[in-house]
Amino acid sequence: MKHAAARNPEQTPRFWRDDALPFIEARAIADGREVCYARHSHAHFSIGAITAGRSIYVHEQSKFEVTAGTVVLMNPADVHACNPIDDQPWSYLMLYVETPWLTDLQHQLGFSADLEFRRFSTTHLHDAKLYRDLTVLYEILVDEQQDVLCKHSAAVEFFSDLQLRLNPAEQPLREPNFKLERAADFIREHCTDMLSLDDICAAAQLSASYLIRAFKQHYGMTPHAFLVNQRIQFARERLRGGQLIADVALECGFADQAHFQRAFKQHLAMTPGQYRG
């Protein structure tokens, strides 16, 4: 990799990772002229979005011009490169996903467990919904106010949708609704705990990919949103009992009082202080 002379010290590449989610990393480049690549490949799956400008995308033996709004996909071991056109400014974001995690997700979605990673035939596409969903996932991942369950759930939802749309299995798995009810009951009973996606899946005996999709379809919200809602209902009872807002925020499982205040207002259109009166 070579680097051009710095143009703006504030445009340092932004890289995100979290030890609690070791299967995924994220990166955003504000000025693509600063990071030029030779042809290379990765052991992981990569997906990215051109967020401004345009560039040249080299994939295996093909070469394309990609513009803002384009999503690019790179299977493990695909040789690729993406570089500026005549030193024109461009920007992008990328997600890097460990192949074993994505392969397991494919199995959950209906692929035979003895199959290795199923490659995507699509190398790039200009699709408004996919672009929006990818950028939303990126923002969730890098948001320090979002907890691990929210980030993990968002990743499972996005990559499940990506698989089903671009690389569908022939017979997606189906599960009875009583397992979804079991998941909801588990969340209700443990809403003040630091739940993980794995905790909920184990309690309901459901795969993560099915839980995320079917729970939202059945209840109208993701498991994480359902958890936050249960915490707010719990908080209302405590606030009516006269407890201090800071104590309630801690008891309900929120990271801090500011996070609690924001979630409470989103649900009830008033602050905890206004509600308690």
Half-sphere exposure of 32 (CA within 13 A, CB side): 28
Q: Which amino acid is at 36?
A: C
Calculate ∠ Cα 227-156-81, nearest 5°: 140
| pLDDT for residue 15 | 80
Q: What is the dihedral of CA 251, 256, 259, 263, to 10 degrees?
A: 10
pLDDT score of 271: 85
Helical (H) or strand (E) element with 83: strand 80-84
pLDDT band at 138 (very low <50, low <70, confident <90, very high): very high
- Residue 217 buriedness (CB in 10 A; 0-12 / 13-18 / 19+): exposed
From-to residues of CATH 2.60.120.280 in the chain: 14-166
- pLDDT tens digits along 95-114: 999 999 999 999 998 886 77
CA–CA distances in Å: residue 238 to residues 109, 114, 120, 130: 41, 51, 50, 41
Question: pTM here?
Answer: 0.78
Q: Which CATH superfamily is domain 14-166 in?
A: Regulatory protein AraC (2.60.120.280)
CA–CA gap between residue 32 and residue 91 (Å, rounded): 5
Task: Name every residue whose Cβ is closer than 8 Å to that of residue 127 and which is 6 or more positions away in sequence.
Answer: 71
At 176, phi and psi to the nearest 5? Answer: -70, 155
Distance of CA 55 to the CA centre of its chain: 25
CATH 1.10.10.60 placement within the chain? 174-277
pLDDT value at residue 266: 83
What architecture does CATH give domain 174-277? Orthogonal Bundle (1.10)
Mean of the per-residue pLDDT values for the chain?
85
**Tens digits of per-residue pLDDT, 213-228?**
999 888 878 899 899 9
Length of the chain: 277
Residue range 78-98, pLDDT digits in tens: 887 777 788 788 888 999 999
Q: Is the distance from CB of 84 to CB of 31 less than 8 angstroms?
A: no
Query: Within the chain, where are the H helices?
Result: 99-108, 128-142, 148-166, 177-189, 197-204, 208-219, 223-240, 245-251, 257-268, 272-276
Q: Who wins on pLDDT, 38 or 16?
A: 16
Tell me: the pLDDT tens digits for 243-262? 899 999 999 988 888 989 89
Phi, psi torsion values for 49, nearest 5 degrees: -135, 130
Q: How many CB atoms are located within 10 Å of the residue 103 CB?
A: 18
pLDDT at 255: 83
